[in-house]
Amino acid sequence: MAYQIDPAQTLELSPHPGSFRRSEREHWQDEYRRRLRVSDATAVCGSIAMAQLIRFGGLNNAARLNWPGDTGIGYSVISIVLAVAWTGFLALGNTWSSSTIGTGPEEYRRLIAATMRLFGLIAIVSLLLRIEFARGYLGIALPVGLLALIVSRLYWRKYAARQRRLGQYLTSVLVVGRRDSAHEIMRYFERDPAVGYCVVGVYTPRGSGGEGGFETGLWTADEESSVLDAVRKTGADTVAIAATEQLGARGINELLWKLAPLGVDLVVAPGVVDVADERLSIRPVANLPLLRIEKPQYDRAKSFGKFAFDVLFATAALLVVWPVMVAAAVVIKLTSRGPVLYRSERIGLNGEAFRMIKFRSMYADADQRLDALLSQNEGAGPLFKMRRDPRVTAVGRILRRWSLDELPQFINVIRGEMSIVGPRPPLRSEVERYDGKVRRRLLVKPGVTGLWQVSGRSDLSWDESVRLDLSYVENWSMVRDLLIIKKTISAVTRSEGAY
């Protein structure tokens, strides 16, 4: 059978025709790898030199490693051997692989695994050959070196993210699949520009939801081999399959073989979204790779460990910020009539109502003036928001900009009504409009901060806010909480989406 492109259809490149080529990707990846090798070698050599300097008082010290029945080897030689071996283990551990550099958790996992293998081997060799390494020497080199490697990779990840936002270090992608699936995966690529996936074309097989094209500028064909024509036309270096039912398992395997000589990568979207990495695992069964998805983690978010962390963190935070809270209370009282604190009914865990405490940032009659402003609502879904709400006091604007009005919520945390991290605390009027899916937000305590806080706050659409809250409920982990807290501090200092 001959595979051809429907001449009635055209291909529109996005964002610029011919602006990306595989040679460009290879160029920036080679450049990035060279920088990683230099920074990794510097981190390794620097940590080993520091260990020798601290433990033995200098790099030319006469301290020697004692071998049984021998006069020993100088630690300067040992340091050189250790630096070469450490760098070699990083290479053997594929820590510079193009598939993982700049990806985050997997990159760090390989760094840690390679380092632990080296020092594990040193421990085994020293035990078998009865070699007595200076424990202080290794005790300094290992943690300092590993920390330096991670910090270095973190810096280069941020550097790559900045480059991608500037239109550099990009991976050009041809999306293949049904039209709704193709648009879905494109939305996810656009949601995180720091990943660097730039869609340069879309291929939609004929019969995959319509007549082979849902807007002008899409490839249409009957068989998967026409993807190769699209790849050559666009210069894409990665093919992303958004839906597998048109190609099938055999078609994807054949496509992989055809793309290999072109140096083009193939990625497949499994059809699940908003599932954390730690809940995913590949389980091969008779050469059939099955994607296993762990059950939602919302039950772990109600553990005693999270409750204890919440109480300790809130108590420590109140001890640190109480001078700011006292100053805010005094200014509020002196500049407008009404109570210092504003108590708003919110719905918490399992649909139970509680009074959320905030510093009052509006005039005392704000609730009575709401009806007159409903026509100017800029909020998402059932939420009412105005960038220039006339009910907000001058002091209130400052408090809201820096999220100081939310500091009393730590009291709600100590009382067990809220968590430090969780979904956004909803109003009763919102909950009354929830469907069965959105109601899952009530399976955990609402949070002082959350994914919604670090992803745009008031600038989020209603659907996006719900998606982030449900993603948090389903994928909870303590590490994720700590990362959200870290990002919250950054978002608050930039006052993003706060009004």
Strand residues in 378-442 grouped as ranges (E)? 419-421
For residue 266, list its beta bridge partners.
239
Are residues 240 and 173 in contact, defined by beta-carbon separation less than 8 angstroms? Answer: yes
Average pLDDT over residues 66-88: 78
- For residue 266, report the phi and psi dihedrals to the nearest 5 degrees: -125, 125
pLDDT, greater one: 238 or 223: 238
For residue 356, list its beta bridge partners.
344
Average pLDDT over residues 52-63: 71
CA separation, residue 32 to residues 26, 38, 109, 153, 386 (Å): 10, 10, 19, 11, 44
**The predicted structure's pLDDT at residue 4:** 36
Average pLDDT over residues 259-267: 87
pLDDT band at 40 (very low <50, low <70, confident <90, very high): very high
**Residue 17, preceding bond cis, omega within 30 degrees?**
no
**The predicted structure's pLDDT at residue 47:** 95
CA separation, residue 159 to residues 155, 163, 289 (Å): 6, 6, 35
By three-state DSSP, how is residue 132 classified? Answer: coil
**Type of residue at 136:** G
pLDDT band at 215 (very low <50, low <70, confident <90, very high): very low
**The predicted structure's pLDDT at residue 200:** 85
CA separation, residue 253 to residues 126, 225, 258 (Å): 47, 12, 9
- Which phi-psi region, left, alpha or beta, contains residue 196 (left: φ > 0; alpha: ψ -120 to 50)? left
- Per residue in 288-338, pLDDT (tens digit) is 788 888 888 888 888 889 999 999 999 999 999 999 999 999 999 999 898
pLDDT, greater one: 121 or 252: 121
pLDDT band at 3 (very low <50, low <70, confident <90, very high): very low
pLDDT band at 250 (very low <50, low <70, confident <90, very high): confident
Evaluated on CA atoms 49, 54, 57, 63, the torsion sign reads negative
- Per residue in 446-483, pLDDT (tens digit) is 999 998 888 766 667 777 888 889 999 989 889 889 98
For residue 241, list its beta bridge partners.
176, 268
Quickly count: other Cβ atoms within 10 Å of residue 69's Cβ: 5
The residues, ordered by sequence, that sit 6+ positions from 190 with a Cβ below 8 Å of its Cβ are none
Average pLDDT score, the chain: 81
- Per residue in 127-178, pLDDT (tens digit) is 887 777 778 888 999 999 999 999 999 999 989 988 888 888 888 888 888 7
Give the pTM. 0.72
CA separation, residue 406 to residues 35, 188, 246, 358, 410 (Å): 43, 31, 51, 5, 8
CA separation, residue 3 to residues 210, 221, 227, 308 (Å): 19, 8, 10, 63
CA atoms within 13 Å, Cβ hemisphere of 177: 22
**The predicted structure's pLDDT at residue 19:** 41
Quickly count: other Cβ atoms within 10 Å of residue 381's Cβ: 13
pLDDT, greater one: 104 or 424: 424
The residues, ordered by sequence, that sit 6+ positions from 184 with a Cβ below 8 Å of its Cβ are 242, 273
C-alpha distance across the termini of the chain, in Å? 61
DSSP labels for 237-296?
SEEEES--TTTHHHHHHHHHHHHGGGT-EEEE--S--S--GGGEEEEEETTEEEEEEPPP
**The predicted structure's pLDDT at residue 224:** 47
**The predicted structure's pLDDT at residue 63:** 54
Are residues 204 and 178 in contact, defined by beta-carbon separation less than 8 angstroms? Answer: yes
Hey, which of 38-47, 228-237, 249-258, 388-397 has the most confident mean pLDDT?
38-47
Is residue 17 predicted with pLDDT exceeding 80?
no
**The predicted structure's pLDDT at residue 422:** 94
Domains of the chain in start order, with CATH, are 22-165 (no CATH), 171-271 (3.40.50.720), 300-494 (no CATH)
pLDDT, greater one: 216 or 256: 256
The residues, ordered by sequence, that sit 6+ positions from 425 with a Cβ below 8 Å of its Cβ are 346, 347, 348, 356, 418, 446, 447
